Structure 1
Amino acid sequence: MPFAMEVDISPTIVQNTVLQFQQRNAFTSGFVDVVADYQNLLRRCKESKIRNTQLEKEALELRAENATLQQAVEHSAHAAVSNEKVAVAESRAKELQEELTGVYKEKSRLAEELVAASRQLQIVRDSNEAQARELIDLAAKGRDMRARIKELSDALEKEQAATSLATAELQSRLEEKEAAEKRAAKLENEQAELSKRLVDLKMSEIERMNEVNRMCEEMMTNARNMERAAAASSASSSQVGRFHSLPAGSLTGMVNGIMAKTKGVMHGAIESLVPDAPLRSVPAHEGGCYTLAFDRSGQRMASGGADKVVRLWDACSGHQTGTLLGMTESVTEVAFTCDQKHLLASGADKAVRMWDLASGRVRHTLTGHSQKVSSVDCSPLEPNRAVTAGTDRCIKVWDLGRGYCTSTLICHSSVNSVRLTMDGFAVVSGHFDGALRFWDLRSGKLANEVAGLHTQQITSVSIGLRTGSVLTCGKDNVVKVTDARSFQVQPSMAAPGFAVGGVWSKACLGPDERHCAAGSSTGSVFVWGTEKGNLVKTLREQGSAQIVQAACWSPQGTPLVSANKEGLITFWQPTPEDSSHHDHSHQRGHHHLHGSRHTH
C-alpha cells in the first residue's frame, strides 16, 4: 500500500504569522537570528511542499504508466505478444516500481523533516512567547523603577530644599549669635564705662555734699556765735540794733533754704525732663525684656526676659505687683488664660510653665518640644486650652487641666509666633520662610496659607479683638494686616528709620484695630493707622537708643507699653486728640514721669 502524508499550510497564514512575529520582535535586535531561522524553516517547508507535490505528480504519472504497461502486458499475453516485449515491459515496470518506491521514501523523508521543522517552529514560538513575557515583565519593572526614581528625585529635591532652609536658619542663628556676642561685648564695655562714670558721678556728688555740709556747719557755727555775741552785748543799743535784724530763727531758716535749693539743683542735674515723655519707665529685666502681655481686663500685665523671671504689673500705676520664678532659661513669651487665673510662659529651655496666679506656684511644666519654645498663646474661650510653637517646626495643642499635649502639627518651617483665633477653632502661625499659615484644629490639617507674605521671616503674629484681623511683623522691616476671612492683605506699613531689631520682635494691634505699634532697632516705637497704612506717630524716649523688642496695647485702649533690649519697660500716654486735651495730658504725663523717676 503506498504511503502518503500531506501538510497543508496556507500562504496567508504563513505571511500573517511572519508579520506578527516581525512586529512583535521589531523593538529588539535579540530576535533577529530567531526570525531568520524561522524564515529558513518556512522556506524549507515551502520547498518541501513543492517537492512533495512534484513527487506526487510523478508518482501519479508512474502509476498511470505502470497501469498502461500492465494492460499492455496483459494484452500482449492474450495476443501472444512475444516474450521479448513482455520482458522489456516487465523490466520497465520493475524500474518504475523501484522509482516509485524511491519517490515514496523521499516523500516520507520530507514529511519527517516537515514534522521536525514544525516541532522546531513550535519550540521557537514557545521561546519567543517566553521572551516576550519576560520583556513585558522587564518593561513593567522599568516603569516601576522610573516611578521610584521620580519619587526619590522628588524626595531628594524636598530634602535639599529643607536642607537649604535649615542651612539658612543655621546661618541666621550663627549671625544672630555673632551679633549677640558683639552686642554683649559692646554692652560690657558700655557697662564698664557707665560704671566708671557712675562712680565718678557719685564721687562728685559726695564731694558736693561734703562741701554743702561744711558750708552748713560753718553757717550754723556763725549763727550760734552771732547769737552768743548778741546776748553778751545786749547792753549796747547799737549792737543790739545791729544783731536784731539777724535772729537765730532767720539764720536757721536761711540755712535750711540753702540746703533745699542745693538738693534741688543736684537732683535736676541727674535727671533730664523731656516734654511729651512717657508716663513711666521702669527697669524690669536684666539682660533685656522680650515679651509683654495684658490679661483680659487690661488691669494686669506680665513681662518676661533674659533674667528667667516673669514679673506682674499694675497696668494703671505701672508698679510691680508680683514675681513668678521657675524658668531655667530666657522667657520668650507670656500669656494669661481667659479666666485670668493662670499664666503661661514659654522658654528657651524647651518647656512651658503654668503658674497659679493666686498662689504664685508652678502648676504644670509642659514638655515635648525638642528645641526652643518660641511662642505660647491661650484660648480666648476655653481656660484649659493653649497652643505653643517652637523652632523644632512643631505646633502643639495642650490640655491645661491635665497638663498633656492633645495634638501636634508638623510645619515646613520654624515657627516664630503662634496665635489662637477668637473662636478657638483655628491656629495662625508665622514662620521663618515668611509665610502665614492657618490650621484647622478640628481636622489637624493646614486650612490655608498666605505664602510669601514677608520676604524674610515673620517675627510676630497678633490677632485683633474686634474683627480678628491678623497683624504680622517681618524681618523685612514691614508690618502687614491680613483679613482672616478673605485672606486679603491690606496696605503694608513701613517708615524711614523703622528697622526690626530681632527675630522675635513683637508688634501689637490696638483694641479698635485702627492702629498698630511696633518697636524699632533705633529705640523708637512707631504707630500706624491700619486702614491707610500711614504713620501716625513716632514715640521715643530721650537718651534711649536700645532696641525696642516688644510692644503691647491694653484692651482698655491705654496704656501702650514697650520693652527694650536694656530691660526697660515704658508705659506710654495716649495720643491727644485736641490741643486742650494735649495740654492737660502733657501736664499729667509730666507729673507722673517726675514722680516715677523720683521714686526709682
Structure 2
Amino acid sequence: MSKEEAAREAIKQALRALRKRHLLEEAAHAPALAALSRPFVSQGLEWKEKAESLEAELQQCYKAQSRLAEQLGSEVAETRSLKASLQEKEQAIESLERELTETREECLKLRAELDEKTRVVDLVLSENSEIKRQLEEMTLIAKKAEAENKTLIDRWMLQKMQDAERLNEANALYEDMMERLKANGLESLARQQVDGVVRRCEEGAEYFSESTFPSNCKNRIHAHEGGCAAILFECNSSRLITGGQDRTIKMWDTNTGSLARTLHGCLGSVLDLAVTHDNRSIIAASSSNNLYVWDVNSGRIRHTLTGHMEKVCAVDVSKISSRHVVSAAYDRTIKVWDLQKGYCINTIIFPSNCNTLCFGMDGHTICSGHVDGNLRLWDFQTGKLIHEVAAHSLSVTSISLSRNGNMVLTSGRDNLHNLFDIRTLEVCSTLRASGNRVASNWSRSCISPDDNYVAAGLADGAVHVWSISKGDIVSTLKEHTSSVLCCSWSSLGKPLCSADKSGIICTWT
C-alpha cells in the first residue's frame, strides 16, 4: 500500500471516530435538550417533587447514618471488649501453654520416677519372693530341727529315766549285798542312825524355848524387789534365809534386822528354799526349771541341778542326811537328788502337778501336796506311792511337818488348814477363820517348834495364829499392806517371820 492510500484510510477512520463520538454526545445530552424543549412551569413542578423526594431520601439517609453510627459505636465497644477478652485469653493461653509445658515436663519426670519405682518394686518383689522361699526353707528346717530336738529330748529323758532305774537297781543290789554282808551289824547301824537323830534333837533342845504366840512386829524389812515367796530359818538359829523375784538369796539377822549376806547366781525367781541340817548348804527352787545349791561358807554355787522341764516350785532336804534332796516341778515329776554326786537318782511321775512337798522324819518318806487337792506319801528310794488321801477340795498350797514328825499340816486353796496324823492319815484338826483367804498356789503356812501353834498368811495382808489344842485364832498380826505369801517359825521357838508380794519381811515376837 502506498503512502497516499494509507493516509486516505487513516482519514476515513478518523471521520468514523468523530461521527461515533458525535452520536454518543447527542445521546448523552438528549434529556437536557428535551427538558429545555419543555415549558419552565412543568419543569419546576418536577424539580420540586424531585427535591422533596431527595429531601425525604436525605432524611432517611441521616436516620440510617445515625443508626449506623450507633451500631458502629456499639460494634466498636464490643470490638474493644472482644479485643481485651482476646488479649486475656491469649495471656491465659500462654499461661496454660506454660503450665502445659511444665506439666508435661513434670509428667515426664514422674514417668521416669514411676519407671524407677517400678523397677525398684520389681526388684523388691523378686527379693521378697526369694526371702519367702528362704523363709519357707528355714521354716521347714526349723520344724525338722524342732521335731528332731523333741525326739532327742524324749530319748534323753527316757535314757535318764532308764539310767535312774538302772542306778536304783544297782543301789538296791548294793544294799542287798550290804545287808547280806553286814547282817550281823544291822542292829548297830540302826542304833547309830537313831543316836544321830537323838543327838540332833538334843542339840536343838539345847537352844529351844517354848513358843508363845507373837503379837508385836519387831522388824519390818524391805528384803526383795518384786516380792518374796520363800523364807526359812537356819537349823537351831535365828538367822533367816529369804528368796525373791529379784533372783537373789539373802540372809538376815532377825535380832537386828540387818542383812548378813547375799547370794547370787540364780537365773529365775526363787519359789522355795531348803537348808541342810548342818547349815552348810542352801538349796533354791527356781522358775528357770533348775535348782541351785550354794555353799554357805564360800557363797558360791556348788551345783546347778538340771532335769526338770518346767518351773521348780518346791524343795526339801532329808531330815536324816544332808545328802538327799527332793524337788517338785510343774512337769508332774518329783526328783530325788544326790548332792554328793550332783545329779538325779530317781524320778517319780504322777498325774497332777505338785505344789509343795517335804521329807518325813524317817528320811525315807516324801509327803507331797497336789493341784488335785490330794496328799500323797511316797517311798523316796523306790518311787512307789505309799498312801493317798483327799486333803482339800482345791489345790494344796503348803505342807509342814511337826517337830516330833507325827503331824503334817496342809493348807489349801479352799482356805482350810488341816492337821493329819501321818501314821494314820486321819484329820486331827481343821483350822479356819472368817475371811481367811489364801493368797496363791504356793502360800506357805508353818507349825511352831513346840507344835502348839499354826501361822498362815492371808490375801488381805494379815497373819493368823491358831492354837492347835483349841482350834481358835489366838492372834491376828497386821503390818503387811499386800498379800502374805509365806511364814516361817524359828526352831528356837521365836521369832515368827512372814513375807509378802511387795518383798516386805516382818519379824514377830
TM score, norm. by length of structure 2: 0.57
Deviation readout 1:327-346 (Å, 9 max, x if unpaired): 11100011111111110001
The answer for unaligned runs of 5 or more in structure 2 is: 1-213
Deviation readout 1:111-139 (Å, 9 max, x if unpaired): xxxxxxxxxxxxxxxxxxxxxxxxxxxxx
Tell me which residue corresponds to 2:32: none
Tell me which residue corresponds to 1:551: 487
Matches within 5 A, 1:579-594: none
Tell me which residue corresponds to 2:389: 450
Structure 2 contact 219–254 (Cα < 8 Å) conserved: no
Matches within 5 A, 1:146-545: 277-451=216-390, 453-541=391-479, 544-545=480-481
Deviation readout 1:468-518 (Å, 9 max, x if unpaired): 311111011111111111111122111112110111000000011111100
Equivalent residue for 2:505, pick from 566, 569, 580:
569
Q: Distance in 2 between matches of 1:539 and 1:460?
A: 20
Report how far residue 423 of structure 1 moved: 1.4
Tell me which residue corresponds to 2:181: none
Matching residue's letter, 2:357:
V
Structure 2 contact 398–412 (Cα < 8 Å) conserved: yes
Task: Give 3-state SS (helix, strand or coil) of 1:555's partner.
Answer: coil
The two structures, once aligned, show a CA RMSD in angstroms of 1.3
Deviation readout 1:73-116 (Å, 9 max, x if unpaired): xxxxxxxxxxxxxxxxxxxxxxxxxxxxxxxxxxxxxxxxxxxx
Task: Give 3-state SS (helix, strand or coil) of 1:491's partner.
Answer: strand
Matching residue's letter, 1:324:
L
Matching residue's letter, 1:549:
L
Query: Aligned residues, how many?
Result: 296
Structure 1 contact 348–373 (Cα < 8 Å) conserved: yes
Q: Distance in 1 between matches of 2:381 and 2:223?
A: 40
Q: Which has the higher strand share?
A: 2
Tell me which residue corresponds to 2:94: none
Structure 2 contact 452–469 (Cα < 8 Å) conserved: yes
Q: Distance in 2 between matches of 1:477 and 1:529?
A: 17
Q: Distance in 1 between matches of 2:234 and 2:318?
A: 12
Q: Distance in 1 between matches of 2:250 and 2:336?
A: 25
Tell me which residue corresponds to 1:199: none
Matching residue's letter, 1:520:
L
Q: Distance in 2 between matches of 1:557 and 1:371?
A: 36
| CA pair 276-505 structure 1, distance change in 2 beyond 3 A | closer
Q: Distance in 2 between matches of 1:495 and 1:361?
A: 43
Report how far residue 425 of structure 1 moved: 0.6
Structure 2 contact 360–405 (Cα < 8 Å) conserved: no
Structure 1 contact 414–432 (Cα < 8 Å) conserved: yes
Task: Give 3-state SS (helix, strand or coil) of 1:501's partner.
Answer: coil
Q: Distance in 2 between matches of 1:532 and 1:509?
A: 15
Structure 2 contact 274–282 (Cα < 8 Å) conserved: yes
Structure 1 contact 421–468 (Cα < 8 Å) conserved: no
Structure 1 contact 281–569 (Cα < 8 Å) conserved: yes
Matching residue's letter, 2:356:
S
Report how far residue 419 of structure 1 moved: 0.3
Q: Distance in 2 between matches of 1:381 and 1:318?
A: 31
Matching residue's letter, 2:249:
V
Q: With CA pairs under 8 Å and 6+ residues apart, which has the higher RCO, 1 or 2?
A: 2
Report how far residue 303 of structure 1 moved: 0.4
The answer for unaligned runs of 5 or more in structure 1 is: 1-274, 574-600
Task: Give 3-state SS (helix, strand or coil) of 1:489's partner.
Answer: strand
Tell me which residue corresponds to 2:187: none
Structure 1 contact 466–511 (Cα < 8 Å) conserved: no
Q: Distance in 2 between matches of 1:550 and 1:322?
A: 21
Deviation readout 1:58-85 (Å, 9 max, x if unpaired): xxxxxxxxxxxxxxxxxxxxxxxxxxxx
Structure 1 contact 287–306 (Cα < 8 Å) conserved: yes
Q: Distance in 1 between matches of 2:399 and 2:350?
A: 16
Report how far residue 276 of structure 1 moved: 5.8
Structure 2 contact 227–504 (Cα < 8 Å) conserved: yes
Q: Which has the higher helix share?
A: 1
Matches within 5 A, 1:31-42: none
Q: Distance in 2 between matches of 1:483 and 1:351?
A: 33
Q: Distance in 2 between matches of 1:445 and 1:303?
A: 33
Q: Distance in 1 between matches of 2:307 and 2:382?
A: 21
Runs of 4+ with deviation above 2 angstroms: 315-318
Structure 2 contact 215–477 (Cα < 8 Å) conserved: no
Deviation readout 1:353-377 (Å, 9 max, x if unpaired): 0000000000000011000100000
Task: Give 3-state SS (helix, strand or coil) of 2:488's partner.
Answer: strand
Q: Distance in 2 between matches of 1:500 and 1:472?
A: 12
Q: Distance in 2 between matches of 1:441 and 1:364?
A: 21
Q: Distance in 1 between matches of 2:387 and 2:257?
A: 40
Report how far residue 318 of structure 1 moved: 2.5
Q: Distance in 1 between matches of 2:356 and 2:215?
A: 33
Q: Distance in 2 between matches of 1:477 and 1:488?
A: 19
Q: Distance in 2 between matches of 1:352 and 1:276?
A: 35
* Higher gyration radius (CA): 2
Structure 1 contact 491–532 (Cα < 8 Å) conserved: no
Report how far residue 319 of structure 1 moved: 1.7
Matching residue's letter, 1:297:
N
Matches within 5 A, 1:76-87: none
Report how far residue 406 of structure 1 moved: 0.6
Matching residue's letter, 2:240:
M
